[in-house]
Structure 1
Amino acid sequence: MLDLLPGKDDPAPPSGTRGLRLLPLRGVRYVPEEVGGLAAVTSPPLDGVVPRDGQAPAHPYNIARLILPQADTAEARRRQASGTLRAWLAEGVLASDAEPALYVYEQSRGALVQRGVIGALALSPPEEGVVLPHEDVIVHVLEERAALVRATAAHLEPVLLSYRGTVGPAGATSVVEWATARPPLLVTTTEDGFHHRLWSITDPADVGEVADHIAGHQALIADGHHRWATYLRLQQEQTVTPSPWDYGLVLLVDTALYPLQVNAIHRLLHRLPLSEALAAVGDSFRVRRLDTSLAPAMAALEEAASTGNAFLLAGDGSYHLLDSPDPALLARTMRQDRPADWRALDAAVLHETLLAQVWRIPDAADSIAYIHDAEAAVAQAELHDATAVLMHPVREEVVHDLARRGVTMPRKSTSFGPKPAPGLILRSLEDMCPSPE
């Protein structure tokens, strides 16, 4: 299993590969004087599997108008996003920075501080073992994202990648920390209470030092599997090489210095009332009703999950803890072509056993919503006579170990964070910085 103890490095990429190659880019950013404040034009991270609510953001220049345009058809949404982006660039609402840079990005809230480096990363397929996915993607979401990027010729959000560097104020770390001592390019605070700051590194020697440090590591896709898969798909469509499509916009975070948080993603089963969900489960799991509030119910879930598969169902004003699944049921319903530690995942048991076999629910947008906030999932279930399935987060070392072995987890198994705020930096695919080769 991958060693994640402090002070340990990620293993180098497999021999014969070039490793992580990070290039500077001319970031496309909002012009604050034109939008009246950055907080109003940023957006919470948007998830392509959450149903559209049909409501456009209040601010006319909010980044959500590009990432999640509202129109009746897919083609209209693509045309709208493309036209909007070009209009904002022409009007000076968005502008490219004057010179290529790597960008140091900081997020902080209370005692939590996370810093990383934003740049254009050379693409590499999973089999090269340089950038490791850990979750499956949803085909229709991938197709929609690819169509949007194809239409706009822009990367609208960075992929969040994690790697584990060397602990200590040496090498690229000193360059990054030195950059934060200077006045930032931007400062803003978003609705979730996070403070955001951005700096640029433009000196070629400093850029090279950061890039050389990062090159010696593997990276895990912490957030943005669909964006990374989109990068790879659109690269394959190009007939000219090299091209801007050979690189993707990423945020690289050294988790030896700034550990990411790992949270669960909960499920809302639109068409399944809780009473029917419990009846279908029967005695295939141990079921305990918890007449309590959310916090102690989640604590009970954490305790149960420490010894085996466990889920918390909600939707009737109380909570129902499911654990101790029938081994015969698991043996009959779980995939046997996956390793034992994959079959032990809560998300795997949920999708393979409960959703597919016990509840007979297809994994489609009209049947399941993926919600990051447990309280919101419970509220929606109670409001619509549905079932919320609350999950306990998987351990980070399990994610890394499966990814290193090329085993992907079920979709939406984890939520790494904090995620970068959309709208602070974009990348135009019509602006190619010089290649170092």
Structure 2
Amino acid sequence: MNTAGHSEATAPRGLELTPFRGLRYDPDRVGSLAAVTSPPYDVVVRPDGLHHLQDADPHNIVRLILPQATTPDARNEQAADTLRRWLAEGVLTTDPEPGLYIYEQRDGNGMLQRGVIGALRVSDPAEGVVLPHEDVMPHVVADRAALMRATSANLEPLLLTYRGDDPAADTSRLVERTAQQPPLLATTTEDGFAHRLWSVTDPAEVARVQSDLARHQALIADGHHRWATYRRLRAEHPSPSPWDYGLVLLVDTARYPLRVRAIHRLLHHLPVPDALAALDGLLRVRHLDVSLPQALDALADAAREGNAFLLAGDGSFHLVDRPDPGLLARTVPADRPAAWRTLDATVLHAALLDHVWHIPGDSPARVAYIHDAAATVEKAERDRGTAVLMHPVREEVVRDLARQGVTMPRKSTSFGPKPASGLVLRALEF
């Protein structure tokens, strides 16, 4: 038996990042680079943020990532037509050489993040190379897959993190060295973040990065639905093909720690009085006549002691904590690690949404997931629904569960800062 060949075939594979010819806006053809960028598709708060971005520039990337039409098929066809038109008009142009892209984000408060954008080999969960930490909603994966099929493009990178073990490693050195050079582009978006992008095309430098990253696994920080979409589309196309890879930003969190924030829930068609009445006897409820920042501080204090949520939508705040142990015993699955069973998102979905309020968490008609607390409260008050504000999970809890192969309830965390959409795209035909 050829033991050497067998060993090579079964050796674990790490991250396989490949260069690509980036598709980028021609700054001479758009009003400004800042005006054509957007937050990732799931962070744009519909409809306000969407309309604002559409009005900012006729070429804003939301016209591709969140096309507006009456049916899903019409939306995807519109995005594909828009992409073809922008390519034909030279609004978007393809870089002449394949490369990896170094990306930097910086705000005015001392936050700095740098990472590498490339096309990552789409791996199977059993390989343990890319670790998800959240469940996904099938309808969202189907929606993103249909859009990617129609456009034949990765329109925005998802965010992955890895833990570099050596600040002198090839990837770290290349990132820092490149960031001292003039960038391909630089812009500051209206949220105050400054963005810079460089291209690394030298084959020797690319090879050193690839060799370094091949020793690592990554955690999905943002983009679970897009990663699931990559996996679905890879399965649909015979390999080898461009669909074997997906666009990602890789950040070494040993060098650049990410922020972890909560994702809040907006419960449609459930007024706050009805939500509170259903909780009677099951959780402690305290009325707070304070501002939003003070209410979030109270939530943080309560979360140190156990599960806690902040309900809003009737003009005030209600701190909900200390769930009845009997309720948890009846509703939370017992076949998961204790760290999973005690997550706020687990208790919210398993106990409150499913059994107390009888709301399916994967129904967009009943539940919206919003990253901004103030926007969630505002929408709840306007729509006479209930905002459920969450406290963020610690990053070490997320990583530990992911390494155990345990996924958290959908939309449990929001890692950031997230890459701006519209700075570099990947067209699959190139």
Does residue 375 of structure 1 match 2:374?
Answer: yes
Deviation (angstroms), 1:371: 1.0
Q: Match for 2:21: what amino acid?
A: R
Does residue 338 of structure 1 match 2:336?
Answer: yes
Summarize deviations over 1:320-347 as a string: whole Å, max 9, x none: 1111110011001111232221110000
Give the counterpart of 1:16 among 11, 28, 37. Answer: 11
Matched residue pairs, number? 416
Q: Report the counterpart of residue 10 of structure 1 in structure 2.
A: none
Provide the C-alpha distance between the structure 2 equivalents of 1:16 and 1:283, rounded to a whole number of angstroms: 55
- Inter-CA distance 50–144: structure 2 relative to 1 (3 Å threshold): farther
Provide the C-alpha distance between the structure 1 equivalents of 2:203 and 2:155, rounded to a whole number of angstroms: 26
Please state whether the residue corresponding to 1:57 is helix, strand or coil.
helix
Q: Match for 1:41: what amino acid?
A: V
Q: Report the counterpart of residue 36 of structure 1 in structure 2.
A: 31
Give the conservation status (yes or no) of the 8 Å contact 1:157–1:249.
yes
Alignment of 1:57-136 (within 5 A): 57-58=54-55, 59-110=57-108, 111-136=110-135
Please state whether the residue corresponding to 1:35 is helix, strand or coil.
coil
Provide the C-alpha distance between the structure 1 equivalents of 2:393 and 2:355, rounded to a whole number of angstroms: 23
Deviation (angstroms), 1:52: 5.4
Provide the C-alpha distance between the structure 1 equivalents of 2:410 and 2:419, rounded to a whole number of angstroms: 20
Give the conservation status (yes or no) of the 8 Å contact 2:263–2:372.
yes
Provide the C-alpha distance between the structure 2 equivalents of 1:84 and 1:304, rounded to a whole number of angstroms: 48
Summarize deviations over 1:263-297 as a string: whole Å, max 9, x none: 00011111111111111000211111111111121
Name the Cα RMSD after superposition: 1.5
Deviation (angstroms), 1:167: 4.4
Does residue 408 of structure 1 match 2:407?
Answer: yes
Give the counterpart of 2:302 among 301, 304, 311. Answer: 304
Give the conservation status (yes or no) of the 8 Å contact 1:44–1:422.
yes
- Inter-CA distance 358–50: structure 2 relative to 1 (3 Å threshold): farther
Summarize deviations over 1:389-430 as a string: whole Å, max 9, x none: 110001111110111111111100000000000000000110
Q: Report the counterpart of residue 391 of structure 1 in structure 2.
A: 390
Provide the C-alpha distance between the structure 2 equivalents of 1:50 and 1:164, rounded to a whole number of angstroms: 31
Q: Report the counterpart of residue 229 of structure 1 in structure 2.
A: 228
Q: Report the counterpart of residue 246 of structure 1 in structure 2.
A: 244
Q: Report the counterpart of residue 313 of structure 2 in structure 1.
A: 315
Provide the C-alpha distance between the structure 2 equivalents of 1:234 and 1:48, rounded to a whole number of angstroms: 23
Provide the C-alpha distance between the structure 2 equivalents of 1:176 and 1:333, rounded to a whole number of angstroms: 47
Give the conservation status (yes or no) of the 8 Å contact 2:288–2:295.
yes
Q: Match for 2:19: what amino acid?
A: P
The share of aligned pairs that are identical, in percent, is 66
Provide the C-alpha distance between the structure 2 equivalents of 1:400 and 1:406, rounded to a whole number of angstroms: 10
Q: Match for 1:336: what amino acid?
A: A
Provide the C-alpha distance between the structure 1 equivalents of 2:228 and 2:155, rounded to a whole number of angstroms: 15
Q: Report the counterpart of residue 430 of structure 1 in structure 2.
A: 429
Give the conservation status (yes or no) of the 8 Å contact 1:49–1:141.
no
Provide the C-alpha distance between the structure 1 equivalents of 2:225 and 2:426, rounded to a whole number of angstroms: 17
Give the counterpart of 2:255 among 254, 257, 261. Answer: 257
- Inter-CA distance 418–49: structure 2 relative to 1 (3 Å threshold): closer
Give the conservation status (yes or no) of the 8 Å contact 2:100–2:117.
yes
Q: Report the counterpart of residue 362 of structure 1 in structure 2.
A: 360
Q: Report the counterpart of residue 264 of structure 2 in structure 1.
A: 266
Displaced runs of 4 or more, over 3 A: 48-56
Deviation (angstroms), 1:51: 5.4
Does residue 208 of structure 1 match 2:175?
Answer: no
Provide the C-alpha distance between the structure 1 equivalents of 2:44 and 2:407, rounded to a whole number of angstroms: 18
Provide the C-alpha distance between the structure 2 equivalents of 1:170 and 1:426, rounded to a whole number of angstroms: 27
Summarize deviations over 1:332-366 as a string: whole Å, max 9, x none: 11112322211100000000101111111122111
Does residue 186 of structure 1 match 2:185?
Answer: yes
- Inter-CA distance 128–170: structure 2 relative to 1 (3 Å threshold): closer
Does residue 173 of structure 1 match 2:172?
Answer: yes
Give the conservation status (yes or no) of the 8 Å contact 2:169–2:212.
no
Give the conservation status (yes or no) of the 8 Å contact 2:43–2:371.
no
Deviation (angstroms), 1:309: 0.4
Does residue 137 of structure 1 match 2:130?
Answer: no
Q: Match for 2:73: what amino acid?
A: E
Summarize deviations over 1:183-218 as a string: whole Å, max 9, x none: 100001111111000011111111111121111111
Provide the C-alpha distance between the structure 1 equivalents of 2:405 and 2:223, rounded to a whole number of angstroms: 17
